[in-house]
Amino acid sequence: MTNCKICKSESIRQLDDMESISYKGSVLSISMEYSVCNECEREFVSKQQILNNDSRVRDAKKSVDGLLTSTEIYHARTSMELTQEQASLVFGGGKNAFSKYERAEVSQSVAMDKLIRICLKHPPVLHELLIGAGIKRESTQVTYENNVIPYPKLKAANQSQFKTVRSIDLTKDVSYG
């Protein structure tokens, strides 16, 4: 809001105050935004401040519920090197799901949260989901040939040909069995 609806002044200051909210037996202290007119001292909350406050409350509730917050979802997605659109294809939830999760506009399901955490902990699971979503990604796998552990008493194991490390570019998945 750019002006006061009572006195029409444009001299507005924005403030933050801590609010206590009870949620599932816990008391959450959340910083809430509001505005005050410098002329008539009227307090009000703008539309954007309402959205910001709702996001803060939603993130605080997610923390209590053991879910990833909006910032944590953003960091998880970027650490997996996914765009918001790719993340939606991989994990589901709709075309704009990750945009909404990252703005704390909506909360992800418990199942979605678990799947994101599993993919962070187990990259091969993410790889399988990427394949299922039709997302091709160049990857490099480091392989260790022969013996890379030094055995000081065994001369054969310490030869240079047994200490090489090479990289292999993977361009397609191959199943054996």
pLDDT in tens, 159-169: 666 555 555 55
pLDDT of residue 177: 45
Neighbours of 152 (CB within 10 A): 7
Domain 70-132 is found in CATH 3.30.300.250: no
pTM equals 0.70
pLDDT in tens, 25-75: 999 999 999 999 999 999 999 999 999 999 999 999 999 999 999 999 999
Q: Coil, strand or helix: which one is 50?
A: helix
Task: Yes or no: say if 31 and 17 are a contact pair by the CB < 8 Å rule.
Answer: yes
Q: What mean pLDDT is reported for the chain? A: 86
| Residue scoring higher pLDDT (94 or 142) | 94
- Amino acid identity of residue 83, one-letter, is T
Q: Coil, strand or helix: which one is 147?
A: coil
- CB-neighbour burial class of residue 95 (10 A; exposed 0-12, middle 13-18, buried 19+): exposed
Separation between Cα atoms, residue 146 and residue 153, nearest integer Å: 17
Rg of the chain on CA atoms, in Å:
26
Range(s) of the chain covered by CATH 1.10.260.40: 70-132
Taking 50 as the threshold, does the pLDDT of residue 4 lie above it?
yes
Q: How confident is the model at residue 1 (pLDDT cuts 50, 70, 90)?
A: low
